[in-house]
Amino acid sequence: MAETALKGELGLKSEYRTKLVSTDEAVKAIQSGDVIHYGAFCGTVYDLDEALARRIHELHDLKTIASIWPYEHKPAVVRADPHSEHCRWQTSQFSPVERQMNKDGNCWYIPVQYREQLKYWRQDTKIDVAMLQVAPMDEHGHFNIGPQVSDSMAVVERARVVMVEVNENMPRVCGVHGYSMHISEVDYVVEGGNRPLPERLAKKPSVIDREIARHIVPLIRNGSTLQLGIGGLPNCVGTLIAESDIKDLSVHSEMFVDAFLNLYKAGKISGKKNLDRGKMVWTFSMGSKELYAFIDRNPIHLCYPVDYVNEISTVARLDNFVSINSCLEVDLFGQVNSESVGMQHIGGNGGQLDFVLGAYMSKGGQSFLCTPSTLRTKDGKIRTLIRARLDAGAVVTIPRQVTHNVVTEYGVACMKGKSTWQRAEALINIAHPDFRDELVREAEKMGIWKNSSRVGS
């Protein structure tokens, strides 16, 4: 038995050595016209990007697909091809760097329903080359994909050529399926520079962030299961929960963030939920070095593909589910924009719609969409974010019939079961006082707010 195992291990190591090449050698497999998936989040390749940039002018009509470019500089292929004459950068979620690239005219957004991405890649999108950053191969011939299980398995299945960039700093996650790939599924192995994972640290919460959080925390019950979105505001809510008397919380979240680690260290997470009991369930993670260390080989985590984590029916099965996300603006109909400022794209919608829908279907569930009441523009003017109407080109991320609770520093407005004028009134009441009269006048012009509205109210 031991001799057979030794032969198997030697065979795996031999296959690894056969497939081990330099980055420059690996990218020779890329052909003009190819669609290249760059990996997702912390699994986005770095050295392979640099190698592809070195030969970008030999190729034409390339398209890349990414899910958040996590580094602080533009991709090497974009720097080498700034006018997108050889390659077009496409992404399903926007990072700050990609937002600037979009303004510069060399980044295109792929609108997605995040939980559907596995089906997109398997059914609707051509992927020729999959490149992803992984942990070193284990003794059984498997590469752990790390804290971005997400849609990776579908990308690998779809691709003609699979390249892995090995990084010894990649945390190994625990999961059920889709969290690792075997050497037999890989065409090229490159050993990267073992760079530290990119960190995504939440901004220090503002006074307004803390006011918004203070409106939400009293509404969270003991025994709730939490989903926290990207950004400083959801993290601020998590911090205040850690300081509160709330207990017996659980985690089921698209993104695993440092706020959950803080809640765990504060003894707030017991995992007593009625589905995946005792496990923190999520599909990707970005945060601090401490967070990555907490994830590494820790069986308390269960990193599932996104078509399970974000599936509305999965969320609905979790009692007392609480979804907390940021948004950019809300109009008096209750339509929520979380993606753009007018025509300018800001960020992807991710799973926000799914969690808003699933939370309301949950027994005792609640969703909160949070925004400051105002924004100071570049020219110094103050702009209300409770809008009479969304601007032309603004994207509706959450339709009005789906919106549950909207939160500003002035309170919580529940949209469920309310008529159009009641919605407008509730939203005006949480707008900045300086804009409330103006919003009433706009509501009257729009036919939402009429003298007869209050009769019998």
* Distance, CA of 374 to CA of 377 (rounded, Å): 10
Q: 204: which residues sit within 8 A by CB, 6+ positions away?
A: 232
Specify the amino acid at residue 380: G
Q: Which residue is catalytic, options 50, 254, 311, 409?
A: 254
**Looking at residue 117, what DSSP letter applies?**
H
Sheet holding 336-337, edge to edge: 336-337, 329-331, 386-387
| Residue 369 Rama label (left phi>0; alpha psi -120 to 50; beta) | beta
CA 380 centroid distance within chain: 31
Q: Distance of alpha carbon 23 from its chain centroid, rounded?
A: 29
- The DSSP 8-state label assigned to residue 249 in this structure reads B
Write out the DSSP string of 9-31.
HHHHHHHHHHHB--HHHHGGG--
CA distance 100 to 299: 38
- The total number of residues written for the chain in this structure: 457
Q: Which amino acid is at 27?
A: V
Q: Assess whether 254 carries a catalytic annotation.
A: yes
390: its two tokens: 């969304």
Beta-strand runs (E) in 257-410: 280-285, 301-303, 321-326, 329-331, 336-337, 340-341, 344-345, 366-370, 374-376, 382-384, 386-387, 405-408
Count of other CB atoms within 10 angstroms of residue 350? 27
Residue with tokens 């295109």: 108
Residue 159 tokens read as 């691709």
- 6 contacts 173 by C-beta, under 8 angstroms: no
- Sign for the pseudo-dihedral over CA of 292, 298, 300, 305: positive
- C-alpha 316/C-alpha 274 separation (Å) is 11
Name residue 256's beta-bridge partners. Answer: 285
Around Cβ 4, how many Cβ atoms within 10 Å?
8
Contact present, 163 and 25 (Cβ < 8 Å) = no
Q: How many helices (H) and strands (E) does the chain have?
A: 16, 24
Other beta carbons within 10 angstroms of residue 85's beta carbon come to 12
The residues that are catalytic are 254
